[in-house]
Structure formats: C-alpha cells, structure tokens
Copies of this chain bind each other. A is one copy, B any other.
C-alpha cells in the first residue's frame, strides 16, 4: 500500500487540500504549515499519483512521439529535438515505435490519446486518414512530420519540400554528366516516397531526359528492398549510371547489390540518397545526400504543441517547411557520367 495524500494529511492533522496546495504551490498555506508538510513529504518519500492528478487536471504534461523506426538515425534526431523543447517546458516525452506497421501506428495514436498526452508528434506511415480526423477535431495538437497525412489541411506540419529536395539531388547527378538515372523510393502512399519520385521525374523532364519507368523502383524503406530492386536491375542489358535512393537504408541495400555484381561506386554507378548521416566517420564511400534538419524538425514540432497548449483556443494550423542541405560526397563525384 503506497502512501498517499490523505496519509500525510492525517499524520499531520491537516486537511488533504492543504497538503495538495503546498505540493502544487497553489492557494495560500501558512509558512509553518507548509514547512511541516514539505518535511513530512520528503521524509515519507511520498510521490503523487500522476494518474489521479491527470484525471483531475485533464492534462498530463507529456507529449507522444510516434515514429516508424526508432533505429533510423533521422528519427532518433527528431526525437531528441522534441525532447529538448519538451524538457525545457517541463513536459515528458513518450516515444512509440511502429515498425512501419499501420496497425501499430493506429494503436499507439489511440493509446497515447487515451492516456491524454497533451500533444502528438507523428511520422505517419499512411494509416487511414479517417483515423486522425476525429482526434484532430478533438483539439489535441497533432503535428505531422516527415510524411503528410492524406487528409484535408486542418493539421500542423513540419517537413521539408521533398519534391524540391529530390529535384536538387537528381540535378546534381545530371550536372555530373549522368543521363541514365534510376530512383528507388518507398511506399507511394507515403508522401515522402511519392514526392521524392515526383521531384526526380520533374528534374529528368526539365533536362530533356526521357522518363524510363523501369528505372523507378518502389519498395519499403528498408535495406532488403534496395537490395532486391538493384539486383533485379543489374541483371538487365542496360544499367543506370546513377542512382537516387529515397532513404539511406534503401541505398545501403542497393550498394550491396552493386558490389556483389563487381561494380564500382561512383565509376560504374554514382549514388546519392536522403538522410545518410555518418556518425562513425568510417563509411566508404562517403555518401552524397540530402540532409534534413532532423533535430530542428523535432524541436519545432514540439514548439508548436507548446504554443497550442498555452493558447488553447488557437485554432490556427501551422505548416512549417524547412530547408535541407545537399552534402556532396565521393559516392557521386569525381567521375563524369556515362
């Protein structure tokens, strides 16, 4: 039986409300009484039951973050960004991992909201848009990052311009002289995947390069997909001279296939992707990559929630579009295209 408010009230012959007030610093409590209470609390090791508090207050001072893959360093940085802001505002952060499973995403959205988090930062993997609508309408701040929901526009968003970023990276390869470009992207119901495809195609078009559908590969945002698709391509007569992958895992898989075929990077195939950050300093070749400001995405998302918490009646939705950077590296440089 854990100790609770009334226990320490009884012990000190004061009322529960007096104890509650001193704990919360609300209302007026005599100096001497407060000190006695504080001492008793400290001595007994009393910890308020946060569940009861939340029930009463109708707020939990916590944020939820839902990501597809906690082991992806992009998301890890987003989380750290959220945490920094939350922490500064005395909020806690609960991170949930969906493993790219729509079912789990729905489950965690429900669970977090049922647990009354004050706001949600979510990288959706494209669950039913209908799912979010009732929640968004309920007024709990809901900030999407990375992927956009497939729903109307009454939601908050922090992202980059994926079409443009993809265009930029493809243009870089074109600038290196490449005319035979391939793209491997993720599930097209995820906006990151489809927009990166769109930007890639637009770039080719603008450069007068005929679109070749057979060099647009669609898989999951995972190693295996990149590997499979590239393996398949390398069996054909003609192969691309440059590859864009919509995330780092896809590229690593593709590179594996390229090496297995005995080909060189960038001499035989130049490669580039999104979000290939190298924490080790040991990746070879160094990867040309669009780097999203992941930490900032997280911190801005959290700030939006904080703003809405302070100003509940605010029904404005914010769409923040950040600028990524293009990191040029040896995986695409030093050889002119074929």
Q: Which residues of A contact B (CB under 8 A)?
A: 2, 45, 47-52, 54-55, 60, 62, 70-71, 73, 76-77, 79-80, 83, 87, 92-97, 99, 104, 107-108, 110-111, 113-116, 134, 138, 223, 248-249, 252, 255-256, 279-285, 287
**Which residue in B60, B223, B284 is a CB contact (below 8 Å) of A284?**
B284
**21 A-B Cβ contacts within 8 A?**
A2-B138, A49-B55, A50-B114, A50-B116, A51-B51, A51-B55, A52-B55, A70-B95, A71-B76, A79-B97, A80-B97, A92-B107, A92-B108, A92-B111, A94-B94, A94-B95, A95-B95, A252-B280, A280-B283, A282-B285, A283-B283
A68 CB to nearest chain B CB (Å):
12
**Cβ-defined contact, A116 with B279, below 8 A:** no
Complex formed: what's the CA distance from A113 to B2 in Å?
Answer: 12
Among residues of B, the one whose C-beta sits closest to the C-beta of A50 is B114
A115 CB to nearest chain B CB (Å):
5
**Cβ-defined contact, B80 with A115, below 8 A:** no
**Cβ-defined contact, A223 with B93, below 8 A:** no
Complex formed: what's the CA distance from A272 to B223 in Å?
Answer: 26
Chain B neighbourhood of A111, CB < 8 A: 50, 62, 92
Chain B neighbourhood of A76, CB < 8 A: 70-71, 76
Complex formed: what's the CA distance from A305 to B71 in Å?
Answer: 24
A320 CB to nearest chain B CB (Å):
23
**Cβ-defined contact, A70 with B60, below 8 A:** no
**Cβ-defined contact, B97 with A83, below 8 A:** yes
Chain B neighbourhood of A113, CB < 8 A: 47
